[in-house]
Structure 1
Amino acid sequence: MTRVPEGQMFSDPGSDAAVMAAWERFLDGESRPSDSLRALVDRSWQRCQEQNVDPDKRSAPPPVDESMLESMKEHHGELLQASAPIMACARDFLAETGTVMALADTSCTILTMEGDNPTIGTAESIHLLPGVSWSERICGTNAIGTALAVGEPVQIHSAEHYCAGIKRWTCSATVIRHPHDGEIIGVVDVSGLSESYSRQSLALVVTTASRIENKIAMREMERRYYLLEASLQRWSNGTDGLVLFDRRGYPVRANEIAQAAMTSLGADLDLSAPRRVTALAIGDNGELVRTPALPAWLRPEWLEPVYGAQGQRLGTLLVLPLPRIGRAISGEGARRLVSEPAVAANDMPSGFTSIITRDPALREAVRKADQLARSKVPVLLLGETGVGKEEFAQGLHKASPFRDGPYVALNCGGLSRELLASELFGYVDGAFTGARRGGMVGKIEAANGGTLFLDEIGEMPLDLQPHLLRVLEQSEIYRLGENVPRKVSFRLIAATHRDLRKEVADGRFRMDFFYRVAVTSVRIPPLRDRVGDVRELARHFVERFSKQHELGLRRLDEELLARLESYSWPGNVRELRNVVESVLLMSDSECVGIDALPPELLGMADSPVSAPVATALGALATNAPVGSIAEGEAELIRRAIAATHGNLTRAARELAIAKSTLYQKVKLYGLERDIGRVRAG
């Protein structure tokens, strides 16, 4: 997308004669652009010439037939529905200024028009009509086609048009973007005869596009509510990985198991930074478009359609089943499990007894959290994904003055701004179309008298942060659509895996909000730095899942335990828990061996090392010692990236790990800049 400088955004009617002379010289082959010609227009003329557009063209082509136009309108029903009341509001202004407003799709085909009736009649002479495409390739430089080409607001006046037959007109246009991802979904244009020129026309189309985008955002929020409600009963199943996709193919909710299940399948999809899976978008017929094809890791039988009350398809549920291989023991009853005892928890402070560790650093973090629990100030929990921030938050609540009140948790990641706002603040009856009768209590209000735990607070949109800051400062909350405040009193615990000071420096997190939520903080060390905890936690999870799945006597052999201890655990305790559950389910033996491990753990020591990585290993061995296992692993990955010139597929193969695992580690160690530097060099 080309960004147009503000000074080049507006046409200058006073330069019309000079622009006309420049156009004639351009057609005669003069290469040097005129000083009176805006760079935006010059580049557009160049594109027109390259596409062999006829400069003598008198009008656009005739419109498509009625049935084709109706089909196009049906396909863009949401865009038309959102724009209709907004365009109707502009009707009087358009009539007074002798202009018309057109709405076009992404092929620049006009879908509908509003405005001054005499001007609409005159527009027919150049086929400025519904059903006609006004792309640059067909009609040369014009506001609709050029706005789509550059992705920015555009004003084209009189002689600036490329085709001779359109030079009596002046027009302003801008693109309409989907509010969730910025995808261009249409163009809005205001056109009139040259005498109607006004800079305000460009302001009008920009405002109109913004209002249409807001309408679509509200409609998307309603659809997602319906989708979440329609799929609610499926979330009680804790044995499968679940990911809910909306009608455009965006993940809107996932359970804890989902990311680990997808990672084990080699899926290149990070649920902490959701992106669109186009193959899971729903077409006009209510079926998946499957263009492009489904990813190789995803089986069609794992997909379940989610329907609304009226029978319309709202989205798709991806169900990633975990194998159930263990057999229940019958007879007199299940045998008593025999395994080495996990570390006793009775020496932990009350409230933190679920945390299993022998590591001094983690024990110090627990001691600090227990001390902070007695106060009422906010606490910020810092640590990588999966280290156990939720357990710390619950411990802080159980040992706090608010322990008799509710404990309410909300993950700020993976939710759209609108969903997060309504989840936090709630809404009143009638706040928007489709709102629940009687309204909804938000998480802040639900936590009144207790604890509110906001996980991944670093993902909170910048414009929502001052609203939560106001709640913390004034102990008052406004539900969406409400003008009367409600008093609230709660203890805030927040958590993040991000470096919030860096986020503040980069402008992605408000400084005043940071100092309010980080009055005190507790840093939780990653599992790879906690000596002895992998073995203790593995034994704990063996006991827990053997009982849960009725597997009988189970234990991990020494080779498997040693392999678990040598792994870096980018997903920390959560990843270890999922791996242990997986190996138990994948093995029928009483003693679970190393062959039950998933590929990324099984292959990390046995696979041959390629020449470039062997060189990197040798270089690493001869350098000064690193400060930790994590630093050594990061350095090895950095050298593998350099040896493969930034090709992550090759680097993963040569490091003998899954590509998805490498992506996780690159993100974990902040090596994205190394990739960019290597590729640029």
Structure 2
Amino acid sequence: MDAWERFLSGSAVPSDALRSLVDGSWQRCQRHNVDPDKSCAPPPVAESALASLCQRHSGLLQASAPVMACARDFLAETGTVMALADTSSTILTMEGDNPTMGSAESIHLLPGVSWSERICGTNAIGTALAVGQPVQIHSAEHYCAGIKRWTCSATVIRHPQDGEILGVVDVSGLSETYSRQSLALVVTTASRIESRLTLLEMERRYHLLEAALPHWAGGTDGVVLFDHRGYPIKANENAQAAIAALGADLDLAAPRRIPALALEGGGQALPAWLQSAWLQPVSRRGERLGTLMIVPLPRLGRARAAGPMRELAGEATVRSPRATETPAGFGGVVTADAGLREALRKASQLARSRVPVLLLGETGAGKEEFAQGLHKASPFSDGPYVALNCGGLSRELLASELFGYVDGAFTGARKGGLVGKIEAANGGTLFLDEIGEMPLDLQPHLLRVLEQGEIYRLGENVPRKVTFRLVAATHRDLRQEVAGGRFRMDFYYRVAVTSIRIPALRERGGDVRLLAAHFVELFRERHGLGPRWLSEPLLAALEVYAWPGNVRELRNVIESMLLMSESEVLGIEALPPELRAAGAEPADEHRTSLPAPAVRSIATGEAELIRSAISATRGNLTKAARELDIAKSTLYQKLRQYGLENEVKRERGR
């Protein structure tokens, strides 16, 4: 009190009389001409204005609702109340000890009242917002005389994505309720609210992606999806080029906010390159969730059209059809299918950036080839390419493979330690196959590496900086895994910034013959064989088979047939017995004595093949998956798809 009186009179205040936090706040109050004799805060705003404020901050209120509900119980009879305020220091809601709520009314510590430093002088709510950190203001440390019999503790609540201050949580009571633990309480409470905000934000983003999904089908325009705060969260393969053509840039690995696209943008102007006609609202059940930006590609269209004109003018050399059709870096992919060619085009477009890519496709469909192509076609192709399959490894082994470890980190650790796959991929590409199999508790550690660009080896306390491009692959539906609680939502959105679906071999009409010819030449040369051809009946048989193991299975079958046959022309007799049993052998009009084939579709052919494998292995799914040359997880998925679980039980009971 003596220091306060000296301060107001203009006399020198002893250097040890005030904490620097309080001294700085008093200086600000004096500059803002705050009345030190003020006895209370101003009256609350009208109910309609408070309702409007609460609607504007509905996300913060929703996240804090369970915490504030708890405050009714654990603050009862403590002589304290808990208040939640927005960034203008206006209290939105209060809970706590009922008698203290009555005392708080005398100084207008109420919902709808602003407790900023400019209005009410030094106080925990306003001062916490002014300094952006936890604050405890006790008794005479308050600037205004009418509030000096109170003690209060507060800290700011930050958005988990970028640290933006969203509000303040405060615990206040009369001076005799002072406790050091009050500050710890508000810090813990703010942390709980921020954790709830993270979950709600991920849920809202999930709904936004679902609502915007129809806009990702086809089209040549650049499409970018922005969340309710104006951050880009998803873009198609043309977006980066479209925006670059306008003199701007887009980097989803380190997204930059466009404030004018926030739903609470406050009428801010759009960037000069962005036209309002390109923007579309995205809503779900009447609620606005975000904004879709569709950027036309007139410049790119002219650039693409100019290519053939230059060739006609003699300015370019004639390229082979293979080089023209297959993008650079993806020469290992053999196809004539339009769907796979579109996937290749998308991959070639994405290869130029460091944005994480998620490859979706069945086992053996070619995800590894796409991952290598993304690396070879990237600007950092000189860096290392490191691959790791997350399936089939224990949690401990996967952790050491990913992060590495130091010497002596655990019993049995290799002397000198181990460089993990993430660190080994520094400056290049890390390919994580079957990422859907990654244990739930490891996912936040990899998420932190992706967010911070730092890695800790197991047993080490010093971070190592890493820069790499993540390519992940899975045969699972990760959105269903998220819904089932088997995959973290925040991790899903980080690894699935962009995705490419690789069609199964049975969906690629004509590619079986093309690939068969390719593999015949490949293995004929590799094994030093003479001329080899596949007969028309054999090719027809290969085409009717469902290929549950996709290109990998076809490759293995072709190699096996070439090694097992000494004839130049391989006929239908070269077909492996298991493929014949699965209906791969086509019907022959001259063999009328044979019954009509039971398989009448790709699905039934695949189901029959799985049924045969189950029977042959007496329900041993590990052996069955090995016989089918597919992952065990894929086999489980097929069992559910075709309703074969009971057959497994029946075979095991024989």
Normalised TM-score (structure 2):
0.52
Corresponding residue to 2:166 among 176, 179, 185: 185
Check 1:89–1:444 CA distance in 2 against 1; reply closer, same or farther (3 A cut): farther
Query: Quick one: structure 1 residues 446 and 305, their matched pair in 2 at CA, closer, same or farther if it must change by over 3 Å?
Result: farther
Separation of aligned partners in 2, 1:111 and 1:234: 38
String of CA shifts for 1:78-126, please: whole Å, max 9, x gaps: 2112112111113222124211000111111111110000111111111
Aligned counterpart in structure 2 of residue 355 of structure 1, from 328, 349, 366: 328
Mapping of 1:256-655 within 5 angstroms? 256-267=237-248, 269-283=250-264, 289=265, 291-308=267-284, 310-323=285-298, 340-341=316-317, 354-355=327-328, 386=351, 406-407=367-368, 477-479=438-440, 511=464
Contact residue 69 and residue 111 of structure 1 kept, 8 A = yes
For 1:500 and 1:111, how far apart are their aligned partners in 2? 38
Matched, 1:97 2:78: yes
- Preserved contact between residue 259 and residue 271 of structure 1 (Cα < 8 Å): no
The alignment partner of 1:230 has SS state of helix
Q: How far off its partner does 1:249 sit?
A: 0.8
Alpha-carbon distance in structure 1 between the residues aligned to 2:320 and 2:358 = 21
CA apart distance, 1:196: 0.6
Contact 1:406/1:446 (<8 A) preserved: no
- Could you say what secondary structure the match of 1:293 adopts? coil
Q: Is the alpha carbon distance of 1:342 and 1:98 closer, same or farther for their aligned partners in structure 2, counting shifts above 3 Å?
A: farther
Q: Is residue 170 of structure 1 aligned with residue 151 of structure 2?
A: yes
Please show how residues 204-215 of structure 1 align to structure 2 within 5 Å: 204-215=185-196
Aligned to 2:29: 48
The 3 A distance-change label for structure 1 pair 207 and 45 is same
Instruction: Say whether 1:37 aligns with 2:10.
Output: no
Indicate how the Cα distance of structure 1 residues 167 and 32 shifts in structure 2: closer, same or farther if over 3 A, else same: closer
Q: Does 1:121 align with 2:102?
A: yes
In 2, Cα distance between equivalents of 1:509 and 1:280: 39
Query: Equivalent residue for 2:221?
Result: 240
Distance (whole Å) between structure 1 residues aligned to residue 313 and residue 168 of structure 2:
69
- Tell me how far 1:69 sits from its aligned partner: 1.5
SS, match of residue 60 in structure 1: coil
1:155-205 residue CA offsets vs partner (Å, 9 max, x unmatched): 000010001111111000001111111111111100011111111111111
Equivalence for 1:461: none
CA positional deviation for 1:267: 2.3
Where 1:259 maps in the other structure, the secondary structure is helix
Matched, 1:154 2:135: yes
- The answer (yes or no) to whether the contact 2:390–2:434 under 8 Å persists in 1 is no
Query: Are the aligned partners of 2:211 and 2:282 in contact in 1 as well (CA < 8 Å)?
Result: yes
SS in 2 for 1:47: helix
Partner AA of 2:50 in structure 1: L
Q: State the distance in 2 between where 1:385 and 1:236 align.
A: 17
Change (3 A) 1:509 1:290: farther
Q: Which runs of 5+ in 2 are unaligned?
A: 306-310, 333-348, 375-388, 404-421, 472-654
State the distance in 2 between where 1:220 and 1:501 align.
24
Q: For 1:125 and 1:256, how far apart are their aligned partners in 2?
A: 60
Query: 2: distance between equivalents of 1:406 and 1:219?
Result: 33
Contact 1:48-1:141 within 8 A present in 2 as well: yes
Counterparts in 2 of 1:508 and 1:238: CA distance versus 1, 3 Å? farther
Q: Which has the higher contact order (CA 8 A, sep 6+)?
A: 1
CA displacement at 1:31 relative to structure 2: 3.8
Structure 2 CA distance for partners of 1:312 and 1:509, relative to 1, 3 Å: farther
Summarize the Cα distance change of 1:409–1:303 in structure 2 as closer, same or farther, 3 Å threshold: farther
The CA distance in 2 between the partners of 1:211 and 1:501, in whole Å, is: 25
Structure 1 residues 316 and 509: CA distance shift in structure 2, 3 A = farther
Runs (5+) with no aligned partner, structure 1: 1-19, 284-288, 330-335, 358-362, 367-383, 413-442, 458-464, 483-491, 519-681
CA separation of 1:217/1:22 partners in 2, compared to 1, >3 Å: closer, same or farther? same
Aligned in 2, Cα 1:444/1:238: closer, same or farther, shift over 3 Å?
farther
**What is the distance in 2 between the residues matched to 1:269 and 1:388?**
10
Alignment partners' CA distance in 1, 2:199 and 2:154: 24
Look up the equivalent residue of 1:319 and give its one-letter code: I
Distance in 2 of aligned mates of 1:136 and 1:164: 14
Tell me by how many angstroms 1:22 deviates.
1.0
Q: Distance in 2 between matches of 1:209 and 1:75?
A: 19
Contact 2:3 2:13 in 1 (8 A): no
One-letter code aligned to 2:297: L
Does the 8 A contact of 2:50 with 2:112 survive in 1? yes
What's the secondary structure of 1:130's corresponding residue? coil
Return the TM-score normalized by structure 1.
Answer: 0.50
| Counterpart-to-counterpart distance in 2, 1:404 and 1:473 | 13
1:132 is displaced (CA, Å) by 1.0
Q: 1:55 to 1:272 in 2, by over 3 A?
A: same
Query: What is the Cα deviation at residue 129 of structure 1?
Result: 0.9
Distance, in Å, in 2 between the alignment partners of 1:191 and 1:135 is: 15
The number of residue pairs the alignment matches comes to 392
Deviation at 1:23, TM superposition (A): 1.0
Partners of 1:251 and 1:509 in 2: how far apart?
Answer: 32
Contact 2:456 2:464 in 1 (8 A): no
Letter of the 1:94 counterpart: L
Structure 2 residue identity aligned to 1:293: A
Q: CA deviation at 1:337?
A: 7.7
Distance 1:265 1:224 in 2: 27
Query: What is the rounded CA distance, in whole Å, between the counterparts of 2:150 and 2:223 in structure 1?
Result: 55
Report the Cα distance in structure 2 between the residues aligned to 1:31 and 1:95, rounded to whole angstroms.
43
What is the alpha-carbon distance in structure 1 between the residues aligned to residue 461 and residue 164 of structure 2?
Answer: 22
Partners of 2:175 and 2:105 in 1: CA distance: 16
How far did 1:388 drift?
Answer: 8.9
Residue number in structure 2 paired with 1:202:
183
Question: Which residue number corresponds to residue 227 of structure 1?
Answer: 208
- In structure 2, relative to structure 1, the CA distance for the partners of 1:64 and 1:514 (3 Å cut) is closer
- Specify the alignment match of 1:76 in structure 2: 57
Query: Is the 8 Å Cα contact of residues 454 and 466 (structure 2) preserved in structure 1?
Result: no
Cα offsets for 1:545-581 (capped at 9, x unmatched)? xxxxxxxxxxxxxxxxxxxxxxxxxxxxxxxxxxxxx
Matched residue type, 2:15: S
Partner deviation per Cα, 1:451-473 (whole Å, 9 max, x = no partner): x9xxxx9xxxxxxx89x99x999
> 2:275 and 2:327 mapped to 1: Cα distance?
37
Instruction: Quote the offset at 1:385 in angstroms.
Output: 8.7
The answer to whether the Cα contact below 8 Å between 1:48 and 1:136 also exists between their aligned partners in 2 is yes
1:558 corresponds in structure 2 to none
Equivalent runs, 1:2-41 vs 2, <5 Å: 20-41=1-22
Give RMSD over aligned pairs: 5.1
- Cα distance in 1 for residues equivalent to 2:358 and 2:149: 68
8 Å contact kept, 1:500–1:509: no
Query: Which of 1 and 2 has greater Rg?
Result: 2
Give distance in 2, aligned partners of 1:38 and 1:302.
Answer: 53
SS at match of 2:208: helix
Letter matched to residue 88 of structure 1: A
